[in-house]
Amino acid sequence: NAGVTQTPKFQVLKTGQSMTLQCAQDMNHEYMSWYRQDPGMGLRLIHYSVGAGITDQGEVPNGYNVSRSTTEDFPLRLLSAAPSQTSVYFCASSYSGGQGTSGANVLTFGAGSRLTVL
């Protein structure tokens, strides 16, 4: 059971380049989400998904695309990278369950992907 796996761990891009951050989970969680972490800003939600084929925007979606073709995978695409997208990106997953389920609603995070856009 690997949990949430993100690749790559580090990436340097030039302005205007595109790339995809990969995220996969093997826990059969229905919810998946992408956050970015910037100093002093906490974690801000980019996009999220409540199941295969269903995605929606979070707080800071501009410049990012997502898709969810399977329960396991939730890639984040940067279409035309900008220096403002320099950040650490975290993918997370969770499941709903009932209130008494100890793991319900608890996000499991990947190790993070550090992206630098020059």
Partner 1 sequence: AQSVAQPEDQVNVAEGNPLTVKCTYSVSGNPYLFWYVQYPNRGLQFLLKYITGDNLVKGSYGFEAEFNKSQTSFHLKKPSALVSDSALYFCAVRDSGNTGKLIFGQGTTLQVKP
Is 107 a binding residue for partner 1 by CB under 8 A? The answer is yes
The answer to the question of residue 35 lying near partner 1 (CB under 8 A) is yes
Q: Does 84 bind partner 1 (CB under 8 A)?
A: no
Closest CA to 89 of 57, 118, 46, 51: 46
R_g (Cα) of the chain, nearest Å: 14
Tally the residues of the chain. Answer: 118
Residue type, position 26, single letter: D
Distance of alpha carbon 35 from alpha carbon 43, whole angstroms: 6
- Can you tell me the distance from the alpha carbon of 103 to that of 19, in angstroms, rounded to the nearest whole number? 33
Q: Is residue 32 near partner 1 by the rule CB under 8 A?
A: yes
* Minimum gap (Å) between residue 13 Cβ and partner 1: 21
Decide if residue 74 touches partner 1 (CB under 8 A): no
Residue 53 touching partner 1 (CB under 8 A): no
List residues binding partner 1 (CB under 8 A): 30-33, 35, 40-45, 48, 50, 56, 58, 90, 92-96, 99, 105-112
